[in-house]
Amino acid sequence: MTYVHSLRVRYGECDMQQVVFNANYLVYCDDAVDRWVRVCLNIEFGHDPDAHFDFSQVSFDFMVKTLTINWISPVKYGDVLDMTCRVSRWGNTSFDVDVAGSVGGEERFLSTITYVSVDPSTHQPATVPTRVQHALDAL
């Protein structure tokens, strides 16, 4: 099973060329990953997938280290953008997430985000909990 986060592009997210303004792709990826992680962890812990997830339950949080976007073709006002998320690399305290964006089945961008796992109270790098790895690999 693959997680898909969908959104309809709003007028204010577009630039004078009538396509999505480049910075908004970062916002889209951030929203998709946030929702995907929360759904995965809620399922892993037996909660309603739509509920808020309290990261302190697993002594885990994560922060962006690097983000790249390979743009393929424009996303425009009114398009329904579907984004799939998956972990493409696990490290000890970091992991990479690929976010693939498409409209009507046609690929529009691919983003790779490197996250650092951190302790929620100190924000210092910490090992990715096994249960988090399991949850993110499952969906």
* pLDDT (0 to 100) of residue 15: 96
pLDDT in tens, 52-67: 888 888 889 999 999 9
> What one-character-per-residue DSSP string does 9-33 give?
PPGGGB-TTSBB-HHHHHHHHHHHH
pLDDT in tens, 94-113: 999 999 999 999 999 999 99
Topology (CATH level 3) of domain 4-138 = Thiol Ester Dehydrase; Chain A (3.10.129)
Question: Hey, where are the domains in the chain?
Answer: 4-138
pLDDT of 1 > 70? The answer is: no
Q: What share of the chain is helix, strand, coil (3-state, %, to 5)?
A: 30, 40, 30
